[in-house]
């Protein structure tokens, strides 16, 4: 009787836990936010450790190191990169953002007047109608650009301030990240023991197989996409500096940041860059457009397929579908994570179909 009760309790426990959290979320959502707030340092450290683990493995393989020295070298490299970014790059970005805001707010370019003069020279009622629409739209362009750039400058300055005001929290997260990397194998073993204890052997193996597939897809995609975006941001910044595009560091960073969003990110990121360049010089805007287009084509056809697509096995159809579905459901985070989630669902579905066909001897 006791064994049967324990068996039934093990089966029902996941359902009980899910229902419990759903009830808390519905009737007392503040409790959920409190739990997530309390766990935020652990979650942050886990995400950082998860992404850094690929670098640790690469160093172990390349330099034939054991895991502990590889973790030490990874952490030293990360600290050096952070110091360089906040000592050199962040001040330049803040200066660029403040300069752009000052330029846009003080610039008196009357787009409506320019368009109206062009329409008078052509003297066509269709052109007049288009000019009228452009004039109406141009009234809010500067305000929107200003709001967008204010948001960037505010975020950059807040990030710089947070480094000072939250130094203890950052150090705690960094130390926790190191221990997570060191104890990775032990944590994985404990997770497997927990799954095997809660479920029967068949279900436990299924869960572990799904976890393995999810880990492979998410790690390959996220690490690859971050590396790809870093490369794109650096190349774009260098190209902007060579062709003297205004505020090259800020504009290149915007392109690199938005490149994390598959397919639509580079397009979204290029819009503010081209608009701000247009206020400085239409020729610079045209050059900025040409640079972003060329780099986008190079990235889409050569860089990203080798870093991301080949490792994950994602085709344009699934990537675009993942971005659209994820963005519609969860916004920007959904646009970033929608692709690996959809690829995981596709992979599991294909494995399920293949298994069923084999059982029917129809493979």
**From 157-166, 207-216, 237-246, 257-266, the region with the lowest mean pLDDT:** 157-166
Higher pLDDT, 303 or 145: 303
At 5, the pLDDT band (50, 70, 90 cuts) reads: low
Q: What is the pLDDT of residue 141?
A: 61
- pTM, rounded to two decimals: 0.73
Q: What is the pLDDT of residue 263?
A: 81
Answer yes or no: are the C-beta atoms of 83 and 75 closer than 8 Å: no
Q: Which of 12-26, 40-54, 122-136, 145-159 has the highest mean pLDDT?
A: 40-54
pLDDT at 112 over 70: no
> For the segment 254-311, what is each residue's pLDDT rounded down to a tens digit?
899 999 988 888 888 888 888 888 877 888 889 999 999 999 999 988 888 888 766 6
Quick one: how far is CA 28 from the chain centroid?
A: 30
pLDDT at 319 over 90: no
Q: What is the pLDDT of residue 240?
A: 93
Q: Give CA–CA dist 133/112, Å, rounded.
A: 9
Q: Work out the percent of the chain whose per-residue pLDDT is above 70.
A: 69
Q: What is the pLDDT of residue 198?
A: 81
Question: What's the CA angle centered on 310, arms 306 and 313, to 5 degrees?
Answer: 155
pLDDT at 119 over 70: no
Half-sphere exposure at residue 169, Cβ-oriented, CA atoms within 13 angstroms: 11
Q: What is the pLDDT of residue 310?
A: 66
Q: Give CA–CA dist 353/363, Å, rounded.
A: 9
Q: What is the pLDDT of residue 7?
A: 60
> For the segment 206-227, what is each residue's pLDDT rounded down to a tens digit?
889 888 988 988 988 888 899 9
pLDDT at 154 over 70: no
Q: Give CA–CA dist 95/297, Å, rounded.
A: 30
List all residues 6 or more positions away from 13 whose beta carbon is below 8 Å from its beta carbon: 198
Question: In the predicted model, what is the mean pLDDT of the chain?
Answer: 79
At 40, the pLDDT band (50, 70, 90 cuts) reads: confident
Q: Give CA–CA dist 276/267, Å, rounded.
A: 15
Query: Positive or negative, the Cα torsion across 273, 278, 283, 284?
Result: negative
Looking up tokens 């750039």 gives: 149
Q: Give the residue from 319, 219, 312 showing the smallest Cα distance to 264.
A: 319
> For the segment 169-190, what is each residue's pLDDT rounded down to a tens digit?
777 888 888 999 998 888 899 8
- Mean pLDDT for 69-77 is 91
**From 28-32, 107-111, 282-286, the region with the lowest mean pLDDT:** 107-111
Query: Positive or negative, the Cα torsion across 287, 294, 261, 188?
Result: negative
Residue 66 — φ and ψ, nearest 5°? -80, 170
At 44, the pLDDT band (50, 70, 90 cuts) reads: confident
Looking up tokens 């060579």 gives: 242
Q: What is the pLDDT of residue 353?
A: 86
pLDDT at 238 over 90: yes
């Amino acid at each position: 009787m006791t064994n049967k009760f324990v068996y039934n309790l093990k089966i029902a426990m996941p359902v009980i836990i899910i229902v419990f959290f759903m009830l808390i979320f519905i009737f007392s959502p503040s409790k959920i936010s409190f739990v997530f707030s309390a766990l935020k340092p652990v979650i942050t450290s886990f995400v950082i450790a998860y992404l850094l683990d690929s670098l640790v493995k690469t160093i172990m393989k390349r330099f034939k190191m054991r895991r502990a020295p590889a973790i030490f070298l990874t952490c030293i490299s990360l600290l050096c990169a952070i110091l360089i970014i906040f000592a050199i790059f962040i001040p330049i970005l803040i200066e660029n953002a403040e300069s752009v805001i000052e330029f846009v707010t003080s610039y008196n370019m009357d787009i409506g007047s320019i368009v109206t003069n062009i329409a008078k020279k052509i003297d066509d009622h269709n052109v007049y109608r288009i000019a009228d629409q452009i004039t109406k739209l141009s009234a809010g362009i500067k305000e929107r650009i200003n709001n967008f750039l204010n948001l960037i400058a505010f975020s950059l300055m807040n990030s710089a301030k947070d480094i000072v005001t939250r130094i203890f929290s950052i150090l705690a997260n960094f130390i926790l990240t190191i221990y997570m990397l060191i104890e990775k194998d032990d944590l994985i073993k404990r997770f497997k023991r927990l799954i095997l204890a809660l479920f029967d052997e068949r279900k436990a193996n299924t869960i572990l197989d799904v976890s393995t597939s999810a880990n492979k897809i998410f790690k390959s995609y996220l690490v690859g996409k971050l590396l790809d975006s870093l490369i794109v941001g650096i190349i774009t910044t260098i190209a902007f500096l060579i062709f003297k595009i205004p505020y090259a560091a800020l504009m290149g960073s915007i392109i690199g940041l938005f490149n994390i969003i598959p397919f639509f990110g580079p397009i979204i990121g290029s819009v503010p860059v081209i608009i701000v360049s247009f206020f400085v010089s239409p020729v610079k805007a045209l050059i900025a457009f040409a640079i972003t287009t060329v780099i986008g084509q190079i990235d889409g056809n050569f860089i990203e397929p080798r870093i991301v697509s080949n490792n994950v096995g994602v085709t344009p159809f699934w990537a675009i579908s993942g971005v659209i579905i994820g963005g519609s459901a969860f916004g920007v985070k959904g646009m970033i994570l929608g692709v690996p989630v959809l690829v995981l669902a596709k992979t599991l579905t294909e494995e399920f179909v293949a298994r069923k066909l084999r059982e029917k001897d129809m493979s």
